[in-house]
Structure 1
Amino acid sequence: MTDGDDTALEAALATALDSREAVAFVHAGPDRDPAIRYCRSSSSPSAVDRRGAPIRALAFDGTRWLSVSSADSAGHPAADLASGLTDRVGTGTVLTPARIPHDAALYLEQAGFSLASTDVVERTRATKTDAERDHVDTAQAAAAAGVRRAASVLADATIEDGRLVASGDAVTPDRLRRAVDEAIIAAGGFPARTTTITATDGDAALRSGAPIVVATAPRGPTGYHGGLVRTLVVDSEGGTERRAHVAVTQAFRSVQAMLTADTESVTAVEADLEAEVRGFGFGEHPIETRVAGVGLEPAERPRDGADEVEPDTVVRVEAAVEFEPDRRIRLADVLAVREHEVEWLAPPSRSIEPSALLE
């Protein structure tokens, strides 16, 4: 994050402290915790241990950060932080996330602080800066590399007795997943165990004419996630399958236009996706839609129904329709929203033809 990003979080925390008459904001947990990572990026470099300690406690008093890691502490970092915070601000109410670890809360209370929960960090994370948007774009580019690798394997496969075969061996979901993950790593991302290959025949060899759903949400080198899903079909017969694909791709275009025009709630965007798909004759078919923010977690705010997809949010948009029993078209992309402008990040072709993703 940049200095401008630091100011946004610190300003939000300072406002919350003032309005709640609190002396500090405090959090504790493993360094991998998204909220800890987000707050650390706003802490001054001198306050952050770069050795990757497993547990960290940190505080912001409206002006300065205080950070203690388990690498620096003889006891629990929260105990040392509570002592240092007492020296700095005395005692009083501290704001914490609702999920602060119980032992950290006890150390704060033993030092004379009372705790009150706040979601200010989560709310601030809901909008993304230019730097954060670039981090998501980097992760999404790695996801696209993985999906294109899957498309390459399928495009080069031959058909033997209905099965897909490459280099003399059957193409199984596990083989295709490994190919996707290898491409993600080669592109500088981390699969983070998020890649799945879903097909009608389960773990058996993939077959021609059957939808193959490739889904992944890798992390980039800065810890931000992407999120991408494509449905690929080798030797598609068209018909209802093609109509389902057109319905979902049209739903994505509709959402892009909708968010270009105005700010909408997650519920409204999901409803628009479903309405567009049903408008193509799938009124009685199972349809799934999901809209959620993406960042240091694969799904974060905005993600609840009333949350707004407003300017500076970055959201994963997903829709799926089951056009025949156990046969689905499913797509997902990441959409960056700005004022009257939205763009899909690093989107490969949405075609169901594997070769189209290689063009």
Structure 2
Amino acid sequence: MNMRERFPLGKVPSKVLSEVLFRYLGQRDESVILGPQLGEDAAVIKLDEGYLVVSTDPITAAEREIGWLAVHISANDVAVTGARPRWFLSSILLSEDIDLLNIKHISKQIGEAAKSLGIAVIGGHTEITPGLQKHIVVGMAMGLTDRYITSSGARPGDKIIQSKGIGFEGISILASAYEAYLQKKLQKSTISEAKKLREKISVVREALALADHDWLTAMHDPTEGGLFLGLHELADASKTGLKIYRDKIIITEPVRRVCEVLKVDVFSLLSSGTLLASVHPRCVDEALGFLSATGEKCAVIGEMLSDSEERVLVDSTGGRKPLPKPVEDAIWKLIEE
């Protein structure tokens, strides 16, 4: 590996994680049941009774909703690992032009998001950081469970279920950041619906609706890199292949319209709010029933394959092509232009 290699914005490539970061993990601890691994959303620690699930994520692409997003993104990772999120900490790094009004705004967002999920904010750190061009919030959520779920449990033949839609997080950010431009192209109602998708980025309810069932083999929360990268992460973790049906993927109209106007690839756009679950093929209807009972749309969009090298996207005519694997989230590409 070239140690002088430069990388695109966003997630560090999986090869760098495997060959560099994962080599330096400190002291081995037998209570760590699930540590850093490709495709996994959280760490799992064995307690005397049950398991502690912990996850952390930074909010770097958004500005107006960073407090709200910080809670939900970390809570989602805990929930898809099978635990109900209970506690939250944050490191809030503020640019030098911050004022008291904005500090209150970020703090209020964190408090409201936590309260909506029944989470207690138990600590953190806040500072004015030199050199920052915009604020960053790093969230950490924790929860307890008696049975944990991983992204690595999917098996060949399992069906892949998607909930809600895709691109919710990315579209809610872009609809606010590019509102003036979008108003020239779209109806105000469409922009308003797109902005309100911030309220749909939690998958806690859907994940917990499935978590206790034996027919559930894996869950994953596709975030940066969108649906397609999330699917690859699920397959990487489970060492399987994928067959995905393009026309089965749920895409809501506000997401579709904003992506068309901004020329953004919806399949590689920040997709917090989407739940991916792999389930035993004989129990698909039961899983869909539990998800539908939460009030959200859901659909079977594909299946896991035995050959880990076979990852295909099938179109409406039956045509097949390799499933694209994004190297950079669509939101970063737009920001860089």
TM-score, structure 2 normalization: 0.24
Larger radius of gyration: 1
